[in-house]
């Protein structure tokens, strides 16, 4: 993620009446991590945050590898628990309310005996869209997160 930008996300699908938005901004760099925090609170009145860092092996959020390097279609890796990740596509062009993004990478996180989550990452931006298809969605793909605004701080 670009530490000089503020990221505003919409949670849920457009048809969902309980859609919530929040904005993430860079907070501080500590112990090799870029720490991000919400500037607005969620529906429960609580803010949240996370740490991210990159190595030659990949992009990590709170020590979980979410993107393996080098980025290559078909690349897989395992993580904690029953999670398996796979780079399903590279070089996508994807449009969200925040703009049109090129060279987008699609990563699927499969949870054994449950379903999968799909994240879309744009270079120099980070996560722009997240969806899922699990036991709970009854075969439907559900949108969880959409980048709706990306602005300079």
One DSSP character per residue, 39-76 reads SS--TTS---EEEEEEETTEEEETTEEEEESS--TT-E
Q: What are the extents of the domains in the chain?
A: 5-10+20-152
Determine the Cα angle at 148 with ends 147 and 153, to 5°. 90
Q: Please tell me the predicted confidence (pLDDT) of residue 134.
A: 87
Q: Please tell me the predicted confidence (pLDDT) of residue 56.
A: 95
Q: Please tell me the predicted confidence (pLDDT) of residue 75.
A: 97
Write the DSSP symbol of residue 98.
Answer: T
Give me the residues of the chain with pLDDT under 70, please: 13-19, 40-47
Question: Which residues, listed in sequence order, are joined to residue 145 by a DSSP beta bridge?
Answer: 11, 130
Q: Please tell me the predicted confidence (pLDDT) of residue 38.
A: 83
């Amino acid at each position: 993620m670009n530490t000089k930008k503020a990221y505003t996300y919409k949670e849920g699908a457009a048809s969902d009446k309980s859609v919530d938005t929040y904005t993430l901004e860079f907070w501080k760099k500590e112990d090799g991590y870029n720490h991000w925090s919400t500037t607005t609170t969620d529906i429960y009145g609580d803010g949240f945050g996370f740490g991210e860092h990159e190595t030659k092996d990949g992009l990590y959020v709170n020590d979980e590898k979410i993107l393996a390097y080098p980025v290559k279609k078909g690349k897989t890796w395992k993580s904690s628990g029953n999670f398996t990740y796979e780079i399903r596509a590279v070089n996508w062009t994807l449009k969200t309310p925040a703009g049109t993004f090129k060279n987008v990478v699609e990563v699927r996180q499969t949870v054994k005996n449950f379903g999968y989550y799909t994240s879309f990452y744009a270079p120099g931006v980070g996560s722009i869209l997240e969806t899922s298809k699990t036991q709970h969605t009854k075969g439907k793909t559900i949108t969880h997160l959409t980048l709706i605004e990306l602005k300079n701080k």
